[in-house]
Structure 1
Amino acid sequence: AVMAGKQVAIVVPTTLLARQHYASITERFEGLPVRIRQMSRLVARKDIEATKKGLADGSVDIVVGTHALLAKDMKIRDLGLLIIDEEQHFGVKHKEQLKELRADVHVLTLTATPIPRTLQLAMTGVRELSLITTAPVDRLPVRTFISPFDAVMVRETLLRELYRGGQSFYVVPRVADIGEISEFLRVQIPELKVAIAHGQMSPGELEDVMNGFYDRKYDVLLATTIIESGIDIPTANTLVVHRSNMFGLAQLYQLRGRVGRSKQRAYALFTVPARRVLTPTAEKRLKVLQSLDTLGAGFSLASHDLDIRGAGNLVGEEQSGHIKEVGFELYQAMLEEAVASLRDEGVGSEADDETWSPQINIGTSVLIPDTYIEDLQIRLSLYRRLSDLHEQEEIDAFAAEIHDRFGPPPEEVVHLLEIMAIKELCRKANVETIDAGPGGAVIGLRGGKFNNPTALLDWMTKQGTFAKMRPDMKLVVRRSWDTPGARLKGARQLMAVLANLAVQA
């Protein structure tokens, strides 16, 4: 990009990572006619002003910076490439603000643990996705242990690393916890030289501490999550996390990635408060982390995060949630249709006629719960298979298979299979939407058309006041369906009648 005459902006979440990237990029581009600058709170204001001026007049080719690059007075003359490192740390507003610097900018986002929203964008084709799954030569996976806090175990863990000539990280969730842990280390493990790092320190002080740790003047770095993103210290191969239940899944994975960056085996100890019950979500996060102890497990972990939290709002600012409100299968189908229509793929074509998906709202849960099938990949593959079933015989065979493999299905799965059967009847009757409630159903016809309007009119006449057609071409059917089960059964019978009328044409 630089050799093509464009400018490049590399945005990172922390000052320490900006400093590290700036040093490595400067080293690699040494001897080339490329001007590289850095912007973060570790940089003097005079230098920041000079960098801003250079970006505006085009004399600066590459800038590495933190949120300082998001300042309102920031102007980049000819931005060609935007690289967002550790993308999971940035909000939607931040990312969109960066892209607005220039309309036709190329954007490359880097992360080991994509936010559920980002992963969903990739899965549905809105973004392109590349996976780097090959680990560096001789790299070993980090051994992970989860345990209630035990002073003896923590002492042994840190001393073992000291005696094999390495360094350790001790991470706490809040700055307020540093005093307590610092005192614990001073009293219990006086052999260790401990340095402290957190985001409230002055830039000069923080830089001195990090330089000292890089130069191996300290044995343990006691820090907050400021070290979470991208810090590369090959000699540090033991990690202890205090009160790990207070961290998110991606945070824990990123913290574990700070160790094991050389050929030596690394160890991670995640402690939880003793004699205290964890919340179900915290327990689930820690179990997932312990199970994913292979190299390059970030994508699998992000898939679990998507399953636990949902995908968020793809056109809004929420980066998790939403899927569970509608069910994965319907959400995915609607999203794929929207993406295809925006790309003009199959609009008005025969393929579109075959693949359109009716929207059915019965007011009940339709999903495969993780209490029934724990493995996320199996659940996703079953959803995909289910969306390809079009005949009642196929749906019945699918129901028999999951009963045989996983035991009697719960109510949510029974409802899901019933919905799939109703969808096929809807396609035959050209019904686009069904909204069913205790008082009946409102049925929307696709394109406002029915294949056999005469037969439909005769049927409505026989129904009397229990069926009428609204001016917006939606059919209102009055019934008494008090429970979700009754609504499913009633909607299926109603769709069977309409499908039968449609095929008589």
Structure 2
Amino acid sequence: EGVDSPATLPPATGFLPPAFGPAELFGGQFRRLVADIVARLKSGERVVAVTSQAPRLQELVEEALRNDPTPNPQLPTPNAPRLQELVEEALRDDPTPNPQPPTPNFTTIHGALEAGWRLPSLGLTLYTDSEIFGVRQRRPLSARRSRSRSVEDRAAFLRGLKVGDHVVHIEHGIAVYEGMIRRVVGEIEREYLVLRYAAGDKIYVPVDQVDRVARYIGAGDTAPTLTRLGTQDWERAKRKARAAVQDLAQDLLALYAQRQTKRGHAFLPDNEWQRELEGSFPYIETDDQLRALTEVKADMEHDVPMDRLICGDVGFGKTEVALRAAFKAVQDGKQVAILVPTTVLAQQHFDTFTRRMAAFPVVVEMLSRFRSAKEQDAILKDLARGRIDIIIGTHRILSKDVSFKDLGLVVVDEEQRFGVRHKERLKQLRAEVDVLTLTATPIPRTLHMAMAGIRDLSVIDTPPEDRVPIKTYVLPYDESLIREAILRELEREGQIYFVHNRVQSIYHVANHLRNIVPEANVGVGHGQLAERELEKVMLDFFEGRHDVLVCTTIIESGLDVPNSNTIIIDDATNYGLAQLYQLRGRVGRSANRAYAYLFYKRDRSMTEEAQQRLEAIQEATELGAGFRVAMRDLEIRGAGNLLGAEQSGHIAAVGFDLYSRLLEQAVGQLKQRVDQESGVRSRESGGGGTSPAPGSRLPASDSRLPTPDSRLPTPIINEKVLVSPLVTLDLPMTAYLPTDYIPDDTVRLGVYQRMVAAEQLDEVRALRQELQDRFGDPPLPAMHLLTWLHIKALALQAGVNSVTTTGEEFIIRLPILETQARERLRRRYGRDAGVKVGPQFIRLDRRSLGEGWSDKVMGVLEVLAA
């Protein structure tokens, strides 16, 4: 009594009522977000968005409102003036430029907040990146390539492993994989890989040692000889391979050392224009895109010339990374060369760069056969005088008559499409300026060099929002199916590529298609057309004037026509696997389901290799399969031409994966030596350097560093570090993934690989969450396996050698128990009779621990790791 009820309280003046509620989550679905904002504005509410994508969101909402005939009323609330005053005050205090938006009741602010909310009583909603994207948009803190990424890359060698495949065990040699079984050893049940060697001998490999096994890839298609256990055959093969990689590593490091002695331009950090350009990107960047961009920028801001390879699936956003890198270079007054394999792709990149940079004083030009001789002469003069910032073109850019006033960055799209002479020129450039290479399916040499550490590698394997896999069919040639496929695409107002790679018969095929599908408008495009004619054909197709484009592989690289969602490939047996994958990637670049039809001749016998290629492309249907396709291509063709004939025998003897690991270690050791002697810390270690004065250069060579004629000390190759860091765990627990939990052997093996690669606690937690999401609540053996991983991660963090069970004790062994760690243990367990501390060990009484032994073991490890 005497206390006002809420209904009788006078309206607050200048204060917000406490009736807050959570804002809706959109998980990166921009279209749904925009529809929600428009609906709220139409109902008279106010919306504020604090986001890293402020300009783009403002643009999308304004466009949606322009297309909506319903007027947008003002907010009918007495607190509206005060709310507007608060928003304007916040905008005045915010250092980031945020001009007053023209859309009534809708405000965007470029920034970051933890979470949004709704205030229904005021008709106000606040959205942040937490609601828009599902998580706050955070850029990776470091450009260093994580070791787990390397492990994931290498895991591609086991993906899709089938019973009967040849494998290599790093310690025991070449065997045949016979599947997975569970065995009970010492009352403990675990799962094992069964490997069969010569004379029928078998080895059972615990799943926690799966990183010691790789699929065998030899120098050709000859089946390998199985290793005889109990002999020195395998050791002899490895010794020879070690000697070979040591020689090869010396040669590879000459180029790396030359690059390290140079001092290029250290680009400045991002400025406001850079942020504006990136904010205008019409899509949501994936985490992989952001990671790759951060790595590229870190390389550019370092004073050693960049040499980074970006491996990303077709349509996954490599071009956007290159565009932002190019813009960054231009901000420092440097020129950029974009090198592409085809004139059609040059035109498309030119259109993209011109459109994206139209709001900025950046001059973009194109040098290709789409330009007349007179136009080319004018472009060359402007380029030499520095009037052109970005030049896009084919190998014409590498000609001797092309000169730059101040070249700072070269972007190479699909380097494997260029000839030997052009690659030699690119090799020279790598020692002088920053080089960024883009590829959708790395050829084995490129892939190997990246893995071996000579070039830095960024992988973009996360698909864009709404992207769906391409339906792929491998079929004998059938005209009725071709007609059906074309008509089905026309019914949804889409377009079709028909790939026929013989110019002499391409017009005959086009006329035949016109007879089969008279409803379709058919155009023809190939590389032998006159420049203007080819340009017109491609433009007509892009703008929808042709329904079907009969073409050669000129469309293979980078062509982006979002409305084209069906591709038909004639005589598909004549293409390589990487080429088929690239061609298929021309479709499926929107939210619509895409279809790929690969036809082969009914009356022609197919080689085993061609059959393997078609099977591989049909299997690689999931989004982001480009890396796996490269591995499969390597397996089909063999690795014999990877590093020359002189290395083929060694690759055949030990398999490509072990050979690569040996080479990677040898290169890594020499690379570290080069970095130390040059005084330049490796970019992988995240180190920086002192930038030179503008325009300055260090001498071209340094007698202390290796050249092709000098030698570094022979690296010492230690097999123990070719696999995950070794922590010996012998724990009394039944730990495995039951077959009734994950029935598919291939999927289960893949999960085991991920588990072996997990070395940090956050990775273990992420795996547990993934198991829960994908397969449901983990059963007891799987929970034991997660506990085992938790103990391993803590042991690695603490520098522990082993955690073992002997009789009635757990023994934790270390190289040495430091005084500080000993003191921490004494403070926590000083009165615990079950814990005994020695100079290099800790003993835990197993009897006193009972069923809760794992908590005690983890507690001790946490103290050691502190």
TM range, smaller chain: 0.5 to 0.7
Deviations 1:131-163 (A, max 9, x none): 112212111111000000011111111111112
Name the SS for the 1:277 alignment partner.
coil
Quick one: which amino acid aligns to residue 514 of structure 2? R
1:283 maps onto 2:647 in alignment: no
Report if aligned partners of 2:666, 2:717 keep a CA contact under 8 Å in 1: no
Residue 440 of structure 2 corresponds to: 112
Partner Cα separation in structure 2 for residue 295 and residue 57 of structure 1: 45
1:16 maps onto 2:344 in alignment: yes
Deviations 1:296-335 (A, max 9, x none): 11111111112223456677799x9994477325632542
Matches within 5 A, 1:273-352: 273-311=601-639, 323-324=651-652, 327-328=655-656, 331-345=659-673, 352=716
Deviations 1:70-120 (A, max 9, x none): 212222232211111123312454233034247321111111101110111
**Root-mean-square deviation (CA), in Å?**
3.3
Report if aligned partners of 1:18, 1:65 keep a CA contact under 8 Å in 2: yes
Matches within 5 A, 1:464-503: none
2:575 equivalent among 247, 251, 265: 247
Quick one: which amino acid aligns to residue 46 of structure 1? K
- Seen in structure 2, the aligned counterparts of structure 1 residues 314 and 9 have a Cα distance that, compared at 3 Å, is farther
Residue 489 of structure 1 corresponds to: none
1:47 maps onto 2:411 in alignment: no
1:4 equivalent among 318, 332, 340: 332
- Seen in structure 2, the aligned counterparts of structure 1 residues 26 and 312 have a Cα distance that, compared at 3 Å, is farther
Residue 123 of structure 1 corresponds to: 451
Partner Cα separation in structure 2 for residue 321 and residue 264 of structure 1: 48
Deviations 1:258-277 (A, max 9, x none): 11111111100000001322
Partner Cα separation in structure 2 for residue 124 and residue 331 of structure 1: 10
Residue 188 of structure 1 corresponds to: 516
Residue 256 of structure 1 corresponds to: 584
Quick one: which amino acid aligns to residue 49 of structure 1? D
5+ long unaligned stretches in structure 2: 1-328, 677-711, 722-744, 757-866
- Seen in structure 2, the aligned counterparts of structure 1 residues 354 and 171 have a Cα distance that, compared at 3 Å, is closer
Partner Cα separation in structure 1 for residue 650 and residue 333 of structure 2: 42
1:33 maps onto 2:397 in alignment: no
Name the SS for the 1:343 alignment partner.
helix
Quick one: which amino acid aligns to residue 140 of structure 1? V
1:234 equivalent among 538, 559, 562: 562
Which sits farther off after the overlay, 90-99 or 294-303?
A: 90-99
- Seen in structure 2, the aligned counterparts of structure 1 residues 149 and 353 have a Cα distance that, compared at 3 Å, is closer
Partner Cα separation in structure 2 for residue 288 and residue 354 of structure 1: 35
Partner Cα separation in structure 1 for residue 348 and residue 665 of structure 2: 43
- Seen in structure 2, the aligned counterparts of structure 1 residues 330 and 49 have a Cα distance that, compared at 3 Å, is same
- CA displacement at 1:62 relative to structure 2: 0.6
Deviations 1:236-272 (A, max 9, x none): 1111000000011111111111111111111000000
- CA displacement at 1:341 relative to structure 2: 4.2
Partner Cα separation in structure 2 for residue 195 and residue 161 of structure 1: 16
Quick one: which amino acid aligns to residue 618 of structure 2? Q
Identity of matched residues, %: 50
Which sits farther off after the overlay, 332-341 or 34-43?
A: 332-341
Partner Cα separation in structure 1 for residue 508 and residue 595 of structure 2: 23
Greater relative contact order structure (CA < 8 Å, 6+ sep): 2
Report if aligned partners of 2:500, 2:506 keep a CA contact under 8 Å in 1: yes
- CA displacement at 1:33 relative to structure 2: 2.0
* TM-score (ref. length: structure 1): 0.66
Name the SS for the 2:460 alignment partner.
coil
Name the SS for the 1:238 alignment partner.
strand
1:56 equivalent among 384, 398, 401: 384
Partner Cα separation in structure 2 for residue 64 and residue 21 of structure 1: 7
Partner Cα separation in structure 2 for residue 41 and residue 285 of structure 1: 34
Partner Cα separation in structure 2 for residue 330 and residue 321 of structure 1: 13
- CA displacement at 1:34 relative to structure 2: 1.5
Report if aligned partners of 1:87, 1:110 keep a CA contact under 8 Å in 2: yes
Residue 205 of structure 1 corresponds to: 533
Name the SS for the 1:129 alignment partner.
strand
Quick one: which amino acid aligns to residue 184 of structure 1? H
- Seen in structure 2, the aligned counterparts of structure 1 residues 208 and 38 have a Cα distance that, compared at 3 Å, is same
Partner Cα separation in structure 1 for residue 561 and residue 650 of structure 2: 38
Report if aligned partners of 1:56, 1:77 keep a CA contact under 8 Å in 2: yes
- Seen in structure 2, the aligned counterparts of structure 1 residues 329 and 142 have a Cα distance that, compared at 3 Å, is closer
Partner Cα separation in structure 2 for residue 112 and residue 303 of structure 1: 13
2:543 equivalent among 210, 215, 222: 215
Quick one: which amino acid aligns to residue 151 of structure 1? E
Which sits farther off after the overlay, 206-215 or 265-274?
A: 206-215
Partner Cα separation in structure 1 for residue 373 and residue 562 of structure 2: 32
Partner Cα separation in structure 2 for residue 199 and residue 308 of structure 1: 29
Deviations 1:386-433 (A, max 9, x none): xxxxxxxxxxxxxxxxxxxxxxxxxxxxxxxxxxxxxxxxxxxxxxxx
Deviations 1:183-222 (A, max 9, x none): 3212222121100000010011111111211221111000
Report if aligned partners of 2:566, 2:595 keep a CA contact under 8 Å in 1: yes
Residue 488 of structure 2 corresponds to: 160
Quick one: which amino acid aligns to residue 467 of structure 2? R
Quick one: which amino acid aligns to residue 716 of structure 2? D
Partner Cα separation in structure 2 for residue 288 and residue 274 of structure 1: 20
Which sits farther off after the overlay, 27-36 or 84-93?
A: 84-93
Which sits farther off after the overlay, 86-95 or 305-314?
A: 305-314
Matches within 5 A, 1:381-420: none
Across the two proteins, how many residue pairs are aligned to each other? 365
1:138 maps onto 2:502 in alignment: no
1:175 maps onto 2:539 in alignment: no
Quick one: which amino acid aligns to residue 282 of structure 1? A
- Seen in structure 2, the aligned counterparts of structure 1 residues 151 and 350 have a Cα distance that, compared at 3 Å, is closer
Partner Cα separation in structure 2 for residue 306 and residue 234 of structure 1: 31
2:595 equivalent among 267, 272, 291: 267
Quick one: which amino acid aligns to residue 663 of structure 2? L
- Seen in structure 2, the aligned counterparts of structure 1 residues 336 and 133 have a Cα distance that, compared at 3 Å, is closer
Partner Cα separation in structure 1 for residue 473 and residue 524 of structure 2: 24
